[in-house]
A and B are shown apart, each in its own frame.
Chain A
């Protein structure tokens, strides 16, 4: 049965089993490869996307459950040029392998959206669900503070 999705502000129609995880619809039907498969059970966060601005685990989200809601992937985070978080990630040189970073960036963007100046403890709490196998955590903290500073200057 065709399902109507709104992905990165664009209307999409997909014909998949309604319990297909959003992750695989994004990756293999809509060809948006930014969200990554890591664990398939919501414990690593590599598949994180935003639904109505909140981070969700797309590997655990049946696609029918979010029909009609605003889905934002890393590809659509900032269509007008890099988001402050993406810029910070590049400048701070966060990535090692980079595989988890789409999920990390979306989680960080959602954090800064609701809390523009998080403390280390607030960062740790918000980011704790996103695993980084390479150990980029110190740089992620640094980049979030960096992005928060850039945001502050822009205001």
Chain B
């Protein structure tokens, strides 16, 4: 199974009711096969004027429980102070796509959810017109009221709610949307709807779910991915305090060259007890003899060694090739060559994986933090051999997602366990389970070679990625796009891959693939600029000014190609805001710049970095300029997402997951450190509003920060960061 972003988009689309992809720019309601959203599904108005708006997507900290209802409330012309947000359960026929991934909530919600709100407003106007016996066209609305100017009549939405409910919903395609100049809610910072519950410690997270008679479960899995139980001392463990059940999970893993990102349950031993701590304590007495299988021969060291060999050999696959790269390199005035690499990474959401499940009389009910609850329902139903229609799924706020919860293994486990023990049950992975059984960001090794002519222009670019998989199959997040920058913007170009088999699950981590690939490309461009004696900003803009060479065959689906004007726009903006052109050269301190387009968003970032005599790195200041279209829907929350992407990107620079004898060596945060407060730079965000439909910010803020910092380290010290984590390049965070 190929699991590129393109495929992810397609798979998610199918899960989300079958709408076509690559159609972001078209009104969503026009897209083929999409469910017709209705105001009745999303809006309830009580006679006291309280407006209840359904939040459709999983909330993982990206703010969609606030932002998507804002879209409805704006066009409904509701009084935001009277809006209550209620979480929708899983029902994609009714609510449309209910997933959190690909920074897609904004682009796929913008048009249809505003239409839902506008339809509701139109129904309220019709109700008022009917009541007053006046033409609807003479009525207007303002913040929760319908007005009739010439008679001076006015009524609150609450007074009109009963009558409006009897009016048929208008045809969604006929609806007139507001003039954006009149927006009162969109573009104004609205506080998170769960802020109060969060600051007062209310039980709103997946881990907080309580059901009457509920048991608690943990699962001990093999230290080597996919290892099976040969034998285990189940009986003495069953006798421990609070322990109710100890069960073996056979697991359903295949040993193909490419591990699917959603393989189902891993083999292991489940312990079910009265409390989670009792179940967790009982693990200490559990002794399992594992059959590790072939996975035990894998190590990070061996992968690196094999990758180095493959980089010297003829590449296996050609992703894209035009012009005569080898000839152009031969004729170049200067040739620059480098090898870049980055490790596996874990997600480490602060709330570990888990789900609460209750199976009774052939029906399953689940409370889950999944980012793809529709797919999770399918997986759980398949695991239990029941139809998806027998599964009810509640979407519960997650303590972080970052792509980990796009995979639903924990849902299958909780469902299966509840059925086995005949009781409602909360499965909670320990932190160690979470780190050692993640779906990891794939490691990668890039060989790069580029030629410059006498004027310092790029004449050839050759990139060879050694990654994982076999043939056309790449594990999740391990492939590279044939349009990877600067593909199409240099006169001769070749992009190759070679692959290594991998018996480890990979998955999508915030800005999948490109969270590392951007580091490689944008760092190497900085190397070329230095070799050419040019300013990296001018150098990059020159590449963007080249007329793009199109692909021989256009790609199906996926994102539209890079718009050079938009990327140049944010580059120039961030240069101006950061004082790039006036930057001073001081030993031990430097600025770096990088820019990237992904997930429909354009971001350019500048980092100001100090490196001390012990090679300890401090990021002093980061400036980011973003172009995600015409509106920043919820500005402070949008800034929060940018802080998050930038801080996460910095964290990535200091982290690695390594394998020894097939076993993951990092089991907790001290071994896979997240950035801490004292390491956090000052961050400033600037928006470049452009005439484009608004798009998401969960992911595109992240990729440029890694090369911006790497390039700043070069400016400060002359040392080039080509190997991540920083420790492998002789550096560390201060």
For residue A133, give the distance in angstroms from its CB to the closest CB of chain B.
4
Q: Which residues of A contact B643 (CB under 8 A)?
A: 135-139
B646 at the interface (CB under 8 A from A): yes
Contacts of A29 in B (CB 8 A): 275
Shortest C-beta distance, A63 to chain B (Å), equals 10
**B92 CB-CB contact with A under 8 Å:** no
Q: Are A28 and B350 in contact, with the CB atoms below 8 A?
A: no
**Which B-chain residue is minimally distant from A100 (CB atoms)?**
B350
In the complex, which residues of chain B have a beta carbon less than 8 angstroms from the beta carbon of A40? 430-432, 668
Residues of chain A with a CB closer than 8 A to B89's CB: none
B interface bracket (residues with beta carbon within 8 Å of A): 35 or more
Tell me the bound Cα distance from A39 to B432 in angstroms. 8
Question: Do B350 and A90 touch across chains, with their CB atoms under 8 A apart?
Answer: no
Total interface residues in chain A, CB < 8 Å: 56
Cβ of A5 under 8 Å from chain B: no
A 6-34 binary contact with B (CB < 8 Å = 1; else 0): 00000000000100110010011101111
Given contacts A36-B205, A98-B397, contact A41 B668 (CB under 8 A): yes
Asked if B107 is at the interface (CB within 8 A of a chain A CB), the reply is no
Asked whether B199 lies within 8 Å of A99 as measured between CB atoms, the reply is no
Q: Are A86 and B199 in contact (CB under 8 A)?
A: yes
Residues of A within 8 A of B644 (CB): 96, 134-136
Q: Are B62 and A96 in contact (CB under 8 A)?
A: yes
State whether B200 touches A75 (Cβ < 8 A): yes
A127 contacts partner chain B, Cβ-Cβ < 8 Å: yes
Q: Is the CB of A113 closer than 8 A to any CB of chain B?
A: no
Whether the Cβ atoms of A137 and B680 lie closer than 8 Å is yes
Which of these, B60, B428, B640, contacts A93 with CB under 8 Å?
A: B640
Q: Give every chain B residue within 8 A of A98 (Cβ-Cβ).
A: 61, 192, 194, 198, 204-205, 397, 399
Interface check A118, CB cutoff 8 A: no
Q: Which residue of B lies closest to A126 (CB)?
A: B677
With A38-B431, A95-B198, A136-B643 as contacts: A131 and B398 at CB distance below 8 Å = no
- Chain A residues whose CB sits within 8 angstroms of the CB of B62 once the complex forms: 96
| Interface membership of B669, Cβ < 8 A | yes
Which residue of A has the minimal Cβ distance to B274? Answer: A28
A43 interface hit (Cβ, 8 Å): yes
A108 shortest CB reach to chain B, Å: 11
Main secondary structure of the interface of A (DSSP, over half): loop
Once the chains bind, are A133 and B674 in contact (CB under 8 Å)?
yes
Closest to B644 in A: A135
Q: Is the CB of A28 within 8 A of B637?
A: no
State in angstroms the CA–CA spacing of A46 and B350 once bound together: 8
A96 to B38, CA, bound (A): 29
- Min CB distance B704 to A, Å, is 15
| CA A149 to CA B398, docked complex, whole Å | 32
Q: Is A56 an interface residue (CB 8 A)?
A: no
Q: Beyond A97-B397, A135-B644, is A82–B199 a contact (Cβ under 8 Å)?
A: yes
Return A74 CB to nearest CB of chain B, in Å. 3
Check if B648 is an interface residue, CB within 8 A of chain A: yes
Which residue from A21, A82, A99 sits with its C-beta under 8 Å from B351? A99
Closest to B648 in A: A135
Q: Are A74's CB and B201's CB within 8 A?
A: yes
A interface footprint on B630-667 (CB within 8 Å = 1, 0 otherwise): 00000011001101111110000000000000000000
8 Å CB contact of B195 from A27, A33, A93, A99: A93
Do the beta carbons of B201 and A33 come within 8 Å of each other?
A: yes
Confirm or deny: A65 has a beta carbon within 8 angstroms of a beta carbon on chain B.
no
Within 8 A of A (CB), among B265-289: 275-277, 281
A97 touches B678 (CB 8 A): no
Partner of B275, one of A28, A34, A93: A28
Do A128 and B677 touch across chains, with their CB atoms under 8 A apart? yes
Set of chain B residues within 8 Å of A125, measured between Cβ atoms: 678
Indicate if the CB atoms of A34 and B680 lie closer than 8 Å. Answer: no
Interface positions, chain A 57-108, Cβ under 8 Å from B, are 73-75, 82, 86, 89-91, 93, 95-102, 105
A140 within 8 A of B: yes
Task: Pick from A20, A24, A33, A105: contact of B203, CB below 8 A.
Answer: A33
| B674 x A131 contact (CB < 8 A) | yes
Q: Does A52 contact B (CB under 8 A)?
A: no
Which residues in B have their C-beta under 8 angstroms from that of A99?
Answer: 61, 205, 350-351, 399-400
Q: Tell me which residues from 253 to 305 in chain B have a Cβ below 8 Å from any Cβ of chain A.
A: 275-277, 281
If A28-B277, A135-B644 touch, whether A140 touches B677 (CB-CB below 8 Å) is yes
Q: Chain B's nearest CB lies how many Å from the CB of A49?
A: 10
Query: Contacts A32-B201, A39-B431, A46-B350 given: A135-B397 contact, CB under 8 Å?
Result: no
A selection of 6 A-B contacts at a CB cut-off of 8 Å is A17-B281, A36-B350, A93-B640, A98-B204, A100-B399, A125-B678
For the complex of A and B, the 5 pairs showing the least CB-CB separation, nearest first, are A34-B201, A97-B61, A135-B647, A99-B399, A74-B201
A interface with B by C-beta (< 8 Å): 17, 20-21, 24, 27-29, 31-41, 43-44, 46, 73-75, 82, 86, 89-91, 93, 95-102, 105, 123-125, 127-128, 130-141
